[in-house]
Amino acid sequence: MEKKSKVKSQKSKLTEGEVVHVANLAHLALAPKEIKKIRDQLSEVLDYVKILQQVDTVKIVPTSQVTGLKDVFREDSVQPSLSVKDSLSESKNSEGEKFKVKSIFQ
């Protein structure tokens, strides 16, 4: 059984021009059929946001996180690691004490 929202929502319908404008801001090139699909999807998102905006949050305390953790970082400490010889032992290509890889810049 589908729950009906007690909050009234007015249906949003973005124009194709608005979708093209948002796409341009995001540097997205959209095909004409993508514009219609995205217009419908964004309109649904806006409808949902309108519903959320009507929720009474006056008595809700603002929060920035909910885990209660204060510091999840550990102290840095020097630990034993592989020697250069062991590190390079499985390498397909090395030169001296370095990994040799193909150039990615021209």
Q: Once rounded to an integer, what is the mean pLDDT over residues 18-43?
A: 94
pLDDT tens per residue across span 63-86: 888 888 877 788 889 999 999 999
The SS3 call for residue 98 is strand
Whole-model pTM: value is 0.49
Cα(90)–Cα(84) distance, integer angstroms: 11
Whole-number pLDDT of residue 25: 96
Q: What's the fold here for domain 16-53?
A: Histone, subunit A (1.10.20)
Enter the DSSP assignment of 99.
E
